[in-house]
Structure 1
Amino acid sequence: MKGILFALAGGFFLTFQSVANATISGQIGTWQAAAMTQMTGFVLAVLIVLLLRDKSYKQIRGVSPLYASGGLLAALVLFSNMTAVHRMGVTLTIGVFLIAQLVAAVLIDQEGWFEMSKKKIGRTQAAGVLLMIAGVVVLKW
């Protein structure tokens, strides 16, 4: 149940962040807004680590460079998201982002990429993706 609550919170936060970032990027530029967002997120994360007194960051040298590059991907996500919000609006942007995330997640599960255990993807999962695509098409009209 906690996982669902965190996923819901993440979805809400992503939407709010999309709107805030698009507004900021309209004022200072898209890459500048992405840098500001990354910086403020970094500051908050460091404060939380300090408050929790979690010393697991000492294991950072053991992290694969592939996975450590997640921050680079986050900058691209921010840029893409802000640009899409300006061109398509928040609702369509989030809908298309969700479909892209779901398709990527299905591929990762099915192929076992990034050291994830393989999971069989059946007709019901494929139908779910198709229904989401249909939902976004309906939203567009």
Structure 2
Amino acid sequence: MKGIFFALAGGFFLTFQSVANATISDSIGTWQAATLTQFTGFVLAILIVIVLRDRSYWNLKNVPLLYASGGLLAAIVLYTNMTAVHRMGVTLTIGIFLIAQLLTAVLVDAKGWFDMVKQRIGVTQIAGLLLMIVGVVVLKW
């Protein structure tokens, strides 16, 4: 149940962040907004680590470079998301964003990429992905 709560919260916050970032980028530019967002996220994360007194950051040297580069991917996500919101609006951007995430998630599960346990992908998973695509087409219509 906690997983569902966190997934829903993440989805809500992602949408709010998309709108806020697009608005900020109108004033200061897209890459500047991405920088501000990354920086404020970094500050919050550091504060949480300090408050929780979590010392596991000492294990950073054990993290493979591929995974440690997640912040680079986040900057690209922010830029592409803000640009899409400006061009298509929030609803269509998030809809297509979710389809891309779901398609990528299916591939990661099916192939076991990034040290994930392989999952069986069947007709129901493919049908769900197709329904998401149809849903976005209906939203666009």
What's the TM-score, normalizing by structure 2? 1.00
The alpha-carbon deviation at position 42 of structure 1 amounts to 0.1
What is the aligned-residue identity percentage?
76
The alpha-carbon deviation at position 59 of structure 1 amounts to 0.3
Task: State the alpha-carbon separation in 1 of the partners of residues 118 and 10 from structure 2.
Answer: 25
The alpha-carbon deviation at position 73 of structure 1 amounts to 0.0
Give the AA of the match of 1:16. F
Query: How big is the alpha-carbon RMSD for the aligned residues of Structure 1 and Structure 2?
Result: 0.3
Give the AA of the match of 1:41. G
The alpha-carbon deviation at position 8 of structure 1 amounts to 0.2
Matches within 5 A, 1:1-141: 1-141=1-141
Give CA-to-partner distance per residue, 1:82-133, whole Å, 9 cap, x none: 0000000000000000000000000000000001010110000000000000
Give the AA of the match of 2:119. K
The alpha-carbon deviation at position 72 of structure 1 amounts to 0.1
The alpha-carbon deviation at position 137 of structure 1 amounts to 0.2
List structure 1 segments (4+ residues) > 6 angstroms apart after TM superposition.
Answer: none
**Number of positions where the alignment pairs a residue of Structure 1 with one of Structure 2:** 141
Task: State the alpha-carbon separation in 1 of the partners of residues 19 and 115 from structure 2.
Answer: 33
1:128 aligned counterpart, secondary structure: helix
Give CA-to-partner distance per residue, 1:53-97, whole Å, 9 cap, x none: 001000000000000000000000000000000000000000000
Task: State the alpha-carbon separation in 2 of the partners of residues 25 and 80 from structure 1.
Answer: 12
Q: Where in structure 1 are there 5+ consecutive unaligned residues? A: none
What's the TM-score, normalizing by structure 1? 1.00
